[in-house]
Amino acid sequence: MTISVKHACVLLVLALSGCALFNRTPEQPPQIYVLRVTPIDAQAKPAENHVSVLVSTPKAWPGYDRARIAYVRHPLQVDYYAESEWADQPARMLEPLLVTALQESNLFNAVVSATSGATAELRIDTEIVQFHHEFLIAPSLGRVVIRAQLIDLTRNRVLATRVFSATRPAATEDARGGVTAINNALQGILGAIVDFWRDTLRKPGFEVSSS
């Protein structure tokens, strides 16, 4: 078969394109972000209740159970930033922040994590329902929704359940702005969770048998 000069040039261009496709320069590594909230400047004082609480490992609803940073442009669609990621899954990063917030609250005699193997009279279960940068309005928002439940392990009963929701405006319309807004929203939710448990434990007639 005879190949014309024109066809030969076309084949050469395709071959060079193929070489470029499979020998790309390394992509820029993603920007890594963490969850961080401002510690409460709490004074050391005796615990309000002589019971211990165990913070179980938080869970996350589908779409938020990965280290990718989610954003929403349409109500029923979740997308992810291509060049920015969380340092770990949000649920895993939430656990130590929740433990610290409860320790600083002075509500409990002790606050332990699920991995410690310690026993407790109460347990707090949490689920991340929403955790994203939202572009449904302008300016965009960081939205965090967390479902929390307090369980009395001594009597195997649910003491209280609530869904906590918070939004904060993003200063910039990019991943960095979204991450900052999400952190600010989470700060508000952690404070609301502590206040809700405080109100629950102070209700008349409330009592948990300490071990």
User: How many CA within 13 A on the CB side of residue 181?
Assistant: 27
Just give the CATH number of 33-201.
3.40.50.10610
148-200: pLDDT as tens digits: 999 999 999 999 999 999 999 999 999 999 999 999 999 999 999 999 999 98
Tokens at 145, concatenated: 């929704």
**pTM (2 decimals)?**
0.82
110-155: pLDDT as tens digits: 999 988 878 899 999 999 999 999 999 999 999 999 999 999 999 9
User: Of 160, 187, 142, nearest to 39 (Cα)?
Assistant: 187
For residue 79, with 0-12 CB atoms within 10 Å meaning exposed, 13-18 middle and 19 or more buried, which class applies?
middle
Domain boundaries, the chain: 33-201
28-62: pLDDT as tens digits: 788 999 999 887 655 556 667 789 999 999 999 99
